[in-house]
Homo-oligomer: A and B are copies of this chain.
Amino acid sequence: MRIVVLAGGIGGARFLRGLKAAAPDADITVIGNTGDDIHLFGLKVCPDLDTVMYTLGGGINEEQGWGRTDETFRVKEELAAYGVGPEWFGLGDRDFATHIVRTQMLAAGFPLSAVTEALCARWQPGVRLLPMSDDRIETHVAIEEDGEQRAVHFQEYWVRLRASVDARAVVPVGAEQAKPAPGVLEALGDADVILFPPSNPVVSVGTILAVPGIREAIADAGVPVIGLSPIVGDAPVRGMADKVLAAVGVESTAAAVARHYGSGLLDGWLVDSVDAGAVAEVEAAGIRCQAVPLMMTDLDATAAMAREALALAEEVRA
């Protein structure tokens, strides 16, 4: 079975671990969000791709969900001693090596997709990890801070500001001119199932869908497209998805997110058991819906979620 997953960072990576356990023989391709990529200290940092790679490759800091295990921050401390920041972005020493290798390969002319493949040769994530695009796309967030309107990089909004101010708009800068990375459209065309993990529907899955051709390829694939709600009981399971949902005029409810994706894209939607009341509303929008436990508390619970998603896909297919 060929499964394609559109993944953001922590939520997507943890779901993928469950999916691998639920479908050990499946051929899994991950289309990773690169809209939160950022250039720091002259280095190209791809937080979502790395979170997937480290999580599936056994190198992740399990507690925080991002960054490397057993990490130190010597380089960052020294950069700060030179007065060079930003200090709000936690780049560890082991993590720096990844960005140094990536930057060096990009400078040598390799596209991000080839660089990602090379990095994965070490990590062996057990999935094929593709960036959504080899072109530079940066999600910017329009905010009002100290009475001034300005646009900040998504990382600045998310990490420095901790989404503490309202987002007026979320714009994947560069997406319109971008092309899907090699292999992305082919993987979607060859897929048996396409999954949206409980990732952020705006800045993770939404950014991937903003790359021209990807949304259409999913809609035209003719295979079940199943999503899992990142909203449980009207609040994001983790992160601050409500803030960016508001920016695109979507309520923070499991049903509203399903309607946001829409029946043109989504065939099935899993909501958490506490949101069982939303099932009828989602089904009324033309999307098959079931209520099941959606908390990724451990690998078993996550694998069970993945099995539910695959079962819903078979139901939709039949």
Q: Are A78 and B98 in contact (CB under 8 A)?
A: yes
Q: Are A41 and B122 in contact (CB under 8 A)?
A: no
Chain B residues with CB below 8 A from A96, complex form: 75, 78, 96
In the assembly, what is the distance between CA of A41 and CA of B41, in Å?
14
Q: Are B72 and A103 in contact (CB under 8 A)?
A: no
In the assembly, what is the distance between CA of A297 and CA of B287, in Å?
81
1/0 contact trace for A91-106 toward B, CB 8 Å? 0011011101101100
Tell me the number of copies of this protein: 2
Q: Are B104 and A42 in contact (CB under 8 A)?
A: yes
In the assembly, what is the distance between CA of A104 and CA of B76, in Å?
14
In the assembly, what is the distance between CA of A84 and CA of B96, in Å?
13
Q: Are B72 and A119 in contact (CB under 8 A)?
A: no
Chain B residues with CB below 8 A from A318, complex form: none
In the assembly, what is the distance between CA of A81 and CA of B101, in Å?
11
Q: Are B122 and A97 in contact (CB under 8 A)?
A: no
Q: A79 near B: Cβ within 8 Å? A: yes
- The smallest C-beta distance from A98 to any residue of chain B, in angstroms, reads 7
- The smallest C-beta distance from A266 to any residue of chain B, in angstroms, reads 38
